[in-house]
Amino acid sequence: MTRPRLRKNTGLPPYVYKNKWHYFYRPYLGMENGKRVFGKDIVLCPLNSSRGEVWTAFNEMEAGAKSNTLCYLVSQFKKSMDFTQKKPRTQQDYSGDLERIINTRTASGQSFGSFDARTIKTHTVQRYVEERSRTAGVRANREKAALSSCLGWAARNGYIPSNPCIGVKGIKETPRDRYVTDEEYQALYDAAPSNLKVAMELAYLCRMRKIETVELKWQAVDDTHVLVKRKKGSKTQLVERGERLNKALDLAKSLRKNVVCHNVLLNNRGLALTGSAITTAWGKAFKKAFPQGMEKPFTFHDLKAKGVSDFQGDKQAATGDYSPRMVRTYDRQIETIAATR
């Protein structure tokens, strides 16, 4: 039960008190370890002010504080064209990252979202990235990118003087170099259910990301090609059908059983297979194929890298990426080169 206010504070705004000199506001930050936590006192007006003047000062303080907090800027950023014109997956990732940031508690117990965004400095963000990396690793870099996008928008629109994320050093990331051998691929394929078998073959033969496999529809498949609509700015491509790809598509057709869904990949109920369902099936098949585990396991996305690595021809064309750097990311075969003499 909430404790009643003292008589001298009756009629004042919530969390507003008075001392010998002035009326002040003490922000309530929530419970921590069973105790109420408060922020730093904020002076509102002199002690000789009327109750009406106290309420006016309180309302002005609240309005000003709300329009300057990081939490408020995040809410406005999500309504902006900068955010809404991003791809749905990016919006989802940014929303999760920004939500995590604004709910993070500092050493004083204050949430990061309650900070006046104008006071956030580069070293503040740097400290957050370094602390976050201790538990989340390189995820801290993704959160920094989301925050930078938000504060960059805020700076361009006059909410804050500049973007404090500029100059922040991210956590060093080591590119994946895991190459899936033919034997490893076959072992997992043999242990996989039929719909995962199809997904694996699409990822390998067409060099597709997981999201691209689950979104593939039969309208994109004709007698000679598969139209692959690649994500992340990569080129849409027509991949020629060969004997092995034909077998995978025939298996997918055999699993349909008079269903209406137009997706190539379906679950056992005849509905579109989701990315999370692939992840779950992958984990079960992996344990079945490799019961002893392995020192360096591989992921579903590594199948695209295997497809690029095994491709005989222009590997940049195989990836669908515009950047040669991405080719180096996906080509994981050890290069054989002649000696100098």
68/240: higher pLDDT: 240
Which string of DSSP letters, residue by residue, matches 56-94?
A: HHHHHHHHHHHHHBHHHHHHHHTTSHHHHTS-HHHHHHH
User: Residue 1: pLDDT band by 50, 70, 90 thresholds?
Assistant: very low
- Quote the mean pLDDT of the chain: 85
226 within 8 A of 183, measured Cβ to Cβ: no
Q: How far apart are CA 293 and CA 282, in angstroms?
A: 13
pLDDT tens figures, 289-305: 999 989 889 999 999 99
Query: Using CA of residue 167, residue 148, residue 85, residue 97, what is the dihedral sign?
Result: positive
**pTM higher than 0.75, yes or no?**
no
Q: How far apart are CA 48 and CA 57, in angstroms?
A: 13
Domains of the chain, residue spans: 7-68, 70-156, 182-330
307 within 8 A of 209, measured Cβ to Cβ: no
Residue 323 has pLDDT above 70, yes or no: no
Among candidate residues 32, 3, 116, the one with its CA nearest the CA of residue 69 = 116
Residue 246 has pLDDT above 90, yes or no: yes
Residue 227 has pLDDT above 90, yes or no: yes
Overall fold of domain 182-330? hpI Integrase; Chain A (1.10.443)
Query: Using CA of residue 61, residue 66, residue 69, residue 73, what is the dihedral sign?
Result: negative
* Range with lowest mean pLDDT among 1-15, 31-45, 161-175, 187-201: 1-15
Q: In what order do the strands lie in the sheet with 22-25?
A: 16-18, 22-25, 42-46
| Average pLDDT over every residue of 203-230 | 93
212 within 8 A of 229, measured Cβ to Cβ: yes
